[in-house]
Structure 1
Amino acid sequence: MLVHTDARRRWLWTAAAAVAAYALLTFAVEITWPPLVEQDAVVSAAAHRLALEYPAWRVVMSAVTRTGDTVVLLSVLAFTLGFLLRRRMLAHLAFVCAAVAASAALRLVVHALVARDRPEGMLALAAGWSYPSGHTSHFATAALLLFVLVWPLLGARWQRVALVATVGGWAVLVGASRVALVVHWPSDVLGGWLVALAAVPLAFMTHAVRINHSRP
């Protein structure tokens, strides 16, 4: 895959902006910055009331959040890696592995260092620390990977619009479901999105450089 300089520059700026935003948000969470804490509490309280008042909403959000479960995403990852391996698309295989590894590293290190408690009154089972949201970062990473891999295969404008709407919209829904079920603070979800927005472009840049260097 040939990656033009302008495209690489856009990916670089996306990664840099996401890393900077993630660092600032993490700092705000770590020092329990009052405006952030207050806004998180307000949104979580509203989400709790909404879920209790409308049980059907809770059922829908529970169904959405299950699409981001580890078992589901690992199955999709295994299928993708197997497909790329069978097609001998080794550069793409390396890109996917690098993105997944970068996403996991960016999340797990901060996850352990910040050790943020989850909201009270959770409406679904959840274990571990709260920040950043694992469901959100995992699904957003998968969505971005799908976007990068599928986009070049689509020629019609409507196909690309449909891809962005479907993949992007579902990634937003999964993150929102974590807040709706009161298992994460809103800033946890924002952190998860930023992890994906940093990890995938960083991996893509490495992928692009390696591909270009391998060209005769």
Structure 2
Amino acid sequence: MTGRSAPAVLPPALRAWLGLTAVLAALVVVVLGVLYAGHSESGRVDRWVVEPTADSVGPPWRRVALALDFLGEPAGSVMLVVATVAVCLLLRRSRAAVLVVAAVVMSVGTATLLKHLVGRTIHGADNLSYPSGHTAFFTALALVVALLATSWLGLGRTAGTSLVLAAALVAGAAMGWAEVALSAHYPTDALGGWCTALAVVPAMAWLVDRVADRRGDAGRPQRR
């Protein structure tokens, strides 16, 4: 090592805006969780977006929805995570590689915990639905990739924030559409999963930077 610190996974220029976004997203997750706790049917917002029997998408769009859904399943998600970590390591961005794993695990773990706390179901009492873990996973991964791109390209606050939020919106909308189209989730489940990732990933990125910086300071020789 030459003493230079590794690039931050949460660029300083983006911290304030993404921090505010994380707080607002967490608030949405809590509000929706309270509103739909213990429910077993679609709400008013869900019915406004799509009819309760949403499993009606036909080919070729059904195949697209199934392909997206697979990417959120264990086999598909592991494949994506391994590929993303490999790219980070090839680019010598070890912090980003750590963030990929940490962000995905914490986003999906938080979504799973919330499912048991909220207790909203779809298609039977055993199918917990809020928030959507698939949407949380896909959004979290897109956020990390966008943060890596922002750092790699040296984007400023406006361009960087726009890229990160656009990536999150596209990924969340795509996976959320697939889950609703396959009648696996209500629209508000997808929104909750999207907001879960928006709340978790900036916090994890800040934590990864903080831990890495402290370790770097601890390993750096003291000047006399």
Output aligned runs, 1:142-157, within 5 Å: 142-154=141-153
Output aligned runs, 1:81-100, within 5 Å: 81-85=85-89, 89-100=93-104
CA RMSD for the aligned pairs?
A: 3.5
The equivalent residue for 1:124 is none
Structure 1 counterpart of 2:197, which letter?
A
* CA-CA distance at 1:194 after TM superposition: 0.7
Structure 1 counterpart of 2:147, which letter?
V
Does the Cα contact within 8 Å between 2:38 and 2:120 map onto a contact in 1? Answer: no
The equivalent residue for 2:177 is 176
Q: Is 1:8 paired with 2:15?
A: yes
Question: In 2, Cα distance between the equivalents of 1:154 and 1:106?
Answer: 31
The equivalent residue for 1:38 is 44
The equivalent residue for 1:198 is 199
Identical columns (%): 26
Does the Cα contact within 8 Å between 1:12 and 1:201 map onto a contact in 2? Answer: yes
Question: In 2, Cα distance between the equivalents of 1:46 and 1:29?
Answer: 15
* CA-CA distance at 1:16 after TM superposition: 1.4
Question: In 1, Cα distance between the equivalents of 2:31 and 2:165?
Answer: 27
5+ residue gaps, structure 1: 121-126
Structure 1 counterpart of 2:133, which letter?
G
Question: In 2, Cα distance between the equivalents of 1:166 and 1:145?
Answer: 9
Q: Is 1:68 paired with 2:72?
A: yes
Structure 2 counterpart of 1:38, which letter?
R
* CA-CA distance at 1:46 after TM superposition: 6.6
Does the Cα contact within 8 Å between 2:95 and 2:209 map onto a contact in 1? Answer: no
Does the Cα contact within 8 Å between 2:38 and 2:118 map onto a contact in 1? Answer: no
1:30 is paired with a residue of what secondary structure? coil
Comparing 160-169 with 14-23, greater Cα deviation is found at 160-169
Comparing 205-214 with 163-172, greater Cα deviation is found at 163-172
The equivalent residue for 1:21 is 28
5+ residue gaps, structure 2: 1-6
Question: In 2, Cα distance between the equivalents of 1:67 and 1:84?
Answer: 19
Question: In 1, Cα distance between the equivalents of 2:190 and 2:121?
Answer: 14
Question: In 1, Cα distance between the equivalents of 2:33 and 2:189?
Answer: 9
Question: TM-score when scaled to structure 1?
Answer: 0.76
Question: TM-score when scaled to structure 2?
Answer: 0.74
Structure 1 residues 43 and 49, CA, compared in 2 at 3 Å: closer, same or farther? farther
* Deviations 1:31-85, CA, capped at 9 Å, x for gaps: 65x9x7123245442763853xx55443443334333333122112123334545
Question: In 1, Cα distance between the equivalents of 2:155 and 2:20?
Answer: 27
Question: In 1, Cα distance between the equivalents of 2:17 and 2:165?
Answer: 17
Question: In 2, Cα distance between the equivalents of 1:41 and 1:165?
Answer: 26
Question: In 2, Cα distance between the equivalents of 1:46 and 1:129?
Answer: 16
- Work out the number of aligned pairs and report it: 206
2:106 to 102, 106, 112: 102
Q: Which has the higher helix share?
A: 1
